[in-house]
């Protein structure tokens, strides 16, 4: 049977990816350039018995999302920069309470209102450090419409598997571009549901580490009674200020992502085997980078592309390895050096990192990358 093929916008693909993953609840607030995600969900969710609610603000949307997830539903919201800033309060709440949820943040120029219709890649640090306190961060940065669909499915899997918020961050170009997409058949992509408790209600603790670093989460309304709080908590969910418990719980929350980096990280190495210059890029910028690498190869320059698909956790070890055999890294990005700084931070000075930064609402074009390659000695 021929697979279903469509010509779809990135944001629409994110919504369809969420539906494929079994999303049953969406809470959001209108914001450019992500609104199409909400529009598709408002039309499609009720068809499958799911619920869509447009909340009074971004903060409320994130709050409703967590409330719905606690009843066992897979949940999605979508937003963009200013909305992401507002959502950070309750993203932190979802981190400490360990409630699965997926946030699609379509990156536009900032700070503040910035350039609402212009592309940007300047929210990637906000994905890791936006909410206060130490917490785990998972951020996926797809580069095509097909990949936005598939990475949204993976975002749900990671959220459910690790009981934590997961961000999918296409830049505005990926969110708004239209491309051919081949819909996976049901069952073709892995779909993970959160672990259900294996103990009866009277023995249940929402953070029972005897089940490992990711304890099963019961659903409100399923016979299990438990307490959820944004305060530092004990294994039974109740607040504590006991030093050793707070320390252990904080470390576990971060460890459940850090210790499973290999499962979460994803990248593509294109012509990196013999590369002397490696372009590290993500999102739409990686498409310019691929074009530039192909052009460079035609001219005899040994260039390669290291394309990030997971941004957080960052593939530090692999880049360190590669840094030992390259002449330079080139890091084109639509911000003033966020990824560049992260790359510099993990390669121990083994190679120069030459950044190309655009914050003018225009994509980095391949010529800029080819020009930069000439600077490599």
Partner 1 sequence: MAFDYDKYIRPGKLPHIWCPGCGHGIVMKGLIRAMDSLNLKKEETCIVSGIGCASRLPGYMDCCTLHTAHGRAAAFATGVKMAKPEMNVILVGGDGDGTAIGGNHFIHACRRNIDMTYIIMNNYIYGMTGGQFSPCTPTGAKASTTPYGNPDPGFDIAKLAIGAGATFVARGTAYHAAQLDKLIAEAIQHKGFSVVEILDDCPTTYGRRNKYRSVVDMMNRLKEVAVPVKAAEKMTAEQLEGKILTGVLHKVEKPEYCEEYAKVIQRAQAAK
- State which of residues 8, 40, 41, 68 lies at the interface with partner 1 (CB under 8 A): 68
Using the minimum distance from each CB to partner 1, give the nearer residue, 164 or 310: 164
| Among positions 2, 49, 187, 210, the unique one binding partner 1 when judged by CB under 8 A | 49
200 binding partner 1? (CB under 8 A): no
User: Among 168, 94, 104, which residue's Cα sits nearest to residue 138?
Assistant: 168
| Binding string, residues 221-250; x marks residues near partner 1 by CB under 8 A | x-xxxxxxxxx------xx-----------
Q: How far apart are CA 5 and CA 277, in angstroms?
A: 37
Give the nearer residue to partner 1 in terms of CB position, either 72 or 366: 72
**Least distance (Å) between residue 202 CB and partner 1:** 11
> Which residues, in sequence order, are bridge partners of residue 9?
178
> Binding residue for partner 1 (CB under 8 A) from 30, 46, 111, 345?
46
Classify each residue of 184-206 as buried b or exposed e, where b means 16 or more C-beta atoms within 10 Å of its C-beta.
Answer: beeeeeebbebeebeeeeeebbb
Residue 4 lies near partner 1 (rule: CB under 8 A):
no
Is the separation of the CB atoms in 107 and 79 below 8 Å? no
Which burial class, exposed, middle or buried, applies to 135 when counting CB atoms under 10 A from its CB (0-12, 13-18, 19+)?
buried
Q: Which residues pair with residue 308 across a beta bridge?
A: 267, 282
Q: Which of 67, 116, 337, 352 binds partner 1 (CB under 8 A)?
A: 67
Residue 57 as a binder of partner 1 (CB under 8 A): the answer is yes
Radius of gyration for the chain, computed over Cα atoms and rounded to the nearest angstrom: 21
Return the number of the residue (228 or 346) whose C-beta is nearest partner 1.
228
CB of 90 to partner 1, least distance (A): 6
Task: Tell which one of 201, 251, 317, 321 touches partner 1 (CB under 8 A).
Answer: 201
The span from the CA of 260 to the CA of 280, in Å, is 23
C-beta of 54: minimal distance to partner 1 in Å? 10
Shortest Cβ 134–partner 1 spacing (Å)? 18
Near partner 1 by CB under 8 A: residue from 4, 5, 30, 71: 71
As a whole number of angstroms, the distance between CA 85 and CA 79 comes to: 10
CB atoms within 10 A of CB 170: 35
Query: Which region, judged by CB under 8 A, interacts with partner 1, from 185-193, 216-224, 274-282, 310-318?
Result: 216-224
Q: What is the DSSP string of 80-105?
A: -HHHHHHHHHHHHHHHHHT--EEEEE
Number of residues that bind partner 1 (CB under 8 A): 44
Instruction: Give dist(CA 122, CA 107) in Å, integer.
Output: 7
Of 65 and 104, CB closest to partner 1: 65
Give 63 or 153: the residue with its C-beta nearer to partner 1.
Answer: 63
Prior bond to 36 cis, omega within 30?
Answer: no
**266, two tokens:** 């994803």
| HSE value, Cβ hemisphere, 13 Å, CA-based, for 259 | 10
**Which tokens go with 110?**
């900032």
236/251 with CB nearer partner 1 = 236
Site for partner 1 in 80-139 (CB under 8 A): 89-90, 93
Please report, as residue ranges, which positions from 315 to 374 form the binding site for partner 1 (by CB under 8 A).
none
CB neighbours of residue 255 within 10 Å: 13
Q: Give 45-52 contacts, CB < 8 A, sequence gap 24+.
A: 45/19, 48/19, 48/24, 49/24, 50/23, 50/24, 50/25, 50/26, 51/24, 51/25, 51/26, 52/25, 52/26, 52/27
Q: How far is the CB of 203 from partner 1 (least distance, A)?
A: 14
30 lies in the binding site for partner 1 (CB under 8 A): no
Q: Is 251 in the site for partner 1 (CB under 8 A)?
A: no
Least separation in angstroms between residue 138's CB and partner 1 is: 21
Residue 18 or 330 with smaller CB distance to partner 1: 18
What residue ranges bind partner 1 (CB under 8 A)?
24-25, 27, 43, 46-47, 49, 51, 53, 55-57, 59-61, 63-73, 75, 89-90, 93, 201, 220-221, 223-231, 238-239
């Amino acid at each position: 049977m021929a697979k279903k093929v469509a010509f779809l916008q990135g944001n629409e693909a994110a919504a369809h990816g969420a539906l494929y993953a079994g999303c049953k609840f969406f809470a959001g607030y209108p914001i450019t350039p992500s609104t199409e995600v909400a529009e598709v969900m408002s039309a499609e969710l009720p068809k499958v018995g799911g619920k869509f609610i447009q909340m009074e603000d971004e903060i409320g949307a994130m709050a409703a999302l967590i409330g719905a997830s606690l009843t066992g539903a897979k949940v999605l919201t979508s937003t963009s920069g200013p909305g992401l800033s507002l959502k950070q309060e309750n993203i932190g709440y979802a981190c400490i309470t360990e409630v699965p949820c997926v946030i699609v943040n379509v990156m536009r120029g900032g700070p503040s209102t910035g350039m609402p219709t212009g592309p940007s890649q300047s929210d990637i640090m906000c994905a890791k450090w936006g909410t206060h306190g130490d917490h785990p961060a998972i951020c996926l940065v797809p580069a095509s419409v097909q990949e936005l669909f598939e990475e949204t499915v993976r975002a749900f899997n990671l959220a459910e598997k690790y009981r934590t918020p997961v961000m999918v961050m296409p830049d505005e170009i990926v969110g708004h571009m239209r491309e051919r997409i081949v819909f996976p058949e049901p069952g073709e992509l892995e779909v993970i549901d959160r672990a259900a408790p294996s103990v009866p209600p009277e023995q249940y603790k929402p953070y029972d580490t005897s089940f490992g670093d990711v304890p099963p989460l019961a659903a409100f309304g399923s016979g299990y009674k438990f307490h959820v709080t944004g305060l530092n908590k004990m294994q039974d969910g109740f607040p504590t200020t006991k030093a050793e418990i707070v320390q252990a719980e904080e470390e576990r929350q971060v460890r459940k992502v850090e210790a499973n980096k290999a499962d979460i990280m994803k990248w593509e190495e294109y012509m990196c085997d013999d590369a002397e210059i490696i372009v590290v890029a993500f999102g739409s910028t990686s498409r310019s980078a691929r074009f530039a690498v192909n052009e460079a190869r035609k001219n005899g320059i040994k260039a390669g592309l290291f394309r990030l698909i997971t941004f957080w956790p960052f593939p530090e070890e692999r880049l360190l390895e590669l840094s030992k055999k390259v002449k330079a890294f080139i890091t084109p990005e639509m911000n003033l050096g966020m990824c560049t700084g992260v790359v510099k931070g993990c390669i121990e000075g083994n190679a120069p990192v030459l950044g190309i930064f655009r914050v003018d609402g225009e994509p980095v074009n391949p010529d800029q990358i080819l020009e930069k390659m000439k600077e490599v000695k």
